[in-house]
A = this chain, B = another copy of it.
Amino acid sequence: MDKQEFVSRLAVKNNSKMLMLIMDGLGGVPEIGGKTELEAANTPNMDMIAKASDLGQSVPVIPGVTPGSGPGHLGLFGYDPIKYQIGRGILEALGVGVEVSEKDVVARGNFATFKDGIVVDRRAGRPATEENVKVCEFINSRISEIDGIKVHVFPGKEHRFVLKLTGDGLEDKLTDADPQRVGEPVMYAEALDQGSEKTAKIVNEFITRVAKLLNGKEKISGCLLRGFSNYPNIPKFPEIYKIRSAAIATYPMYKGLAKLVGMDVLDVPAVEGEMETIKSEIKVLKDNYDNYDFFYFHVKHTDSYGEDSNFMAKMNVIEIVDKVIPEIMSVKFDVLAITGDHSTPTLMGGHSWHPVPLLLRSKYSRYGLSKAFNEKECARGSLGTIEARDLMSFLLANALRLEKYGA
């Protein structure tokens, strides 16, 4: 039996409130002055809470493995990120804010340049996103269904788009319709099983029609499709843990992931500025406090600046989060977790495998070991080094929402 399934059997309801505060890409490696971004940041509020908390470090997937946002978040939500894999097409769709449901198959698309049936540019010369938007509108105006299946394209950045097919009997066991290099003939998808043959036929008809519609255009004259994905069959978070669950996030990817596991996604009014955005999220938290047991609260830019290798900016986001901690603490939560979905060290300019600092606070914390919230204290914290997918168990336990196992 899967750990999550086991924990689910022990889960009971009560009136406790839990908050999971995720700073995306939180962890770092020592860089400026031999410090990580979190170590360099001035975080008096988190440090104070750390003194009354359990600290630890969280391994997103398994040791050494660097996760994307999908597996990183599945782990935080208590799922085994190796057992539950979310297709590339779905992640792309979530990333651009496409709603996906059980009857859909989605795929990642590239606009490309075709010439005499040959792919001569896999990215159509990286068009401006506005041009992409126009081409998607044009395609949607000309192709709305094929063989009774609804067809829709959604623009992404530059040459990227998402194809969504909606209808009965769609399956995703298809090969990619992408030769992966230029100079090769236009490719079509092949069904890998009988159930996917209908989908392959529609996909290939779509490729043909798009090429015909765009025939002769200089740059965008065709499309490539890959990562065909059904809506994943994932047990629902609120049912597994018996908690009313809400997500507070501003980026489509994270809203999409939360929705995928069955959380309610709360609408966060868009505002300018880092502090303003977090304040906007806190307002949503306060407004919805009564209606949920569990809040997933996502801060994006620790990761973005990590990816940009901008140490000071990542540090600054951490300091902004620290400044709002008193306001977050004024909303009474029985259990508070602060961590990230993975590390994004500015030194590396990308996600990494390094464990993520983790703080867990409840009145049952075995506190007193740690003096601050940072990588070093967390490495020596009272929780030890855990897998991300165990975090939900700790949250529930500290909320007294797990029954004793056995007599």
Name A residues whose Cβ lies closer than 8 Å to a Cβ of B. Answer: 1, 3, 6-7, 10, 29-30, 34-36, 57, 61-72, 81-82, 85-86, 88, 91-92, 95, 345, 347-348, 350-355, 364-369, 375-376, 379-386, 390, 392-397, 402-407
A353 (CB) vs chain B CBs: closest residue: B397
Q: How far is the CA of A375 from the CA of B368 in the complex (A)?
A: 10
Interchain CB contact under 8 A, A30 and B384: no
Interchain CB contact under 8 A, A65 and B405: yes
Interchain CB contact under 8 A, B66 and A36: no
State which of B348, B365, B380 has its C-beta within 8 Å of the C-beta of A364: B348
Q: Is the interface of A mostly helix, strand, loop or mixed?
A: loop
Q: Which residues from B are CB-within-8-Å of A393?
A: 62-65, 353
Q: Smallest distance from the beta carbon of A14 to chain B beta carbons, Å?
A: 15
Q: How far is the CA of A29 from the CA of B347 in the complex (A)?
A: 38
Q: Smallest distance from the beta carbon of A390 to chain B beta carbons, Å?
A: 4
A-B contact pairs, 29 of them (CB 8 A): A1-B82, A29-B364, A30-B366, A34-B368, A35-B368, A36-B366, A63-B390, A63-B394, A64-B390, A64-B397, A65-B393, A66-B397, A67-B405, A68-B407, A69-B407, A72-B406, A95-B407, A351-B404, A353-B393, A355-B384, A369-B376, A369-B379, A375-B382, A376-B382, A379-B381, A379-B384, A380-B380, A383-B385, A384-B384
Interchain CB contact under 8 A, A66 and B402: yes
Interchain CB contact under 8 A, B7 and A394: no
